[in-house]
Amino acid sequence: MLEEEFYASIKFKNGEEVFSKVSVCDEDNLFLLLLHPLTIIEVKERNNSIGFKVEPWLKTSSDDTFIVYLNDIMTISESDNSDMIMAYKSYVRQVTKNKNVNSKINRKMGYIGSINEAKEMLEKIFKSN
């Protein structure tokens, strides 16, 4: 059973911190569903102004929803920080828009050929060396 969604900062026992939209699920084991979890890094500029760098939590995954068990979490804090929520929403809009763009293969991307042609070309290169 999923509870209402909310924005939260989460600190894991391993030291990682993420900001995410969160849903609590209470079935056999209590766990959280994280939607587009982000790491947010504070960046100081040369003029002493402070900004934030927003990155996906798992850079090698194309998934946008993750299950996290409560025993892996040190603390969780519901957020009403409008700047953080706006940055999160902006990131999610950008990622969603980029996923919806269907890129078709064309000649500008490089050589288009068959597997057999590529195999023959590589064999010729290998044999010539």
pTM: 0.68
Could you tell me if residue 107 is inside a domain?
Answer: no
**pLDDT-derived band at 104, boundaries 50, 70, 90:** low
> pLDDT, tens digit, for every residue of 22-78?
998 876 668 899 999 999 888 888 888 888 788 999 988 888 899 998 899 999 999
pLDDT at position 29 is 63
Could you tell me if residue 54 is inside a domain?
Answer: yes
Q: How far apart are CA 12 and CA 34, in angstroms?
A: 13
Could you tell me if residue 56 is inside a domain?
Answer: yes
**How many structural domains does the chain have?**
1
Could you tell me if residue 110 is inside a domain?
Answer: no
Q: Are 24 and 42 in contact (CB under 8 A)?
A: no
Could you tell me if residue 18 is inside a domain?
Answer: yes
Could you tell me if residue 17 is inside a domain?
Answer: yes
pLDDT at position 119 is 81
Domain that holds residue 12: 6-102
SS3 content of the chain, % helix, strand, coil (to 5): 30, 40, 30
The mean pLDDT of the chain is 84
Q: How far apart are CA 28 and CA 8, in angstroms?
A: 23
Could you tell me if residue 72 is inside a domain?
Answer: yes
Could you tell me if residue 38 is inside a domain?
Answer: yes
- CATH at residue 80: 2.30.30.100
pLDDT at position 16 is 92
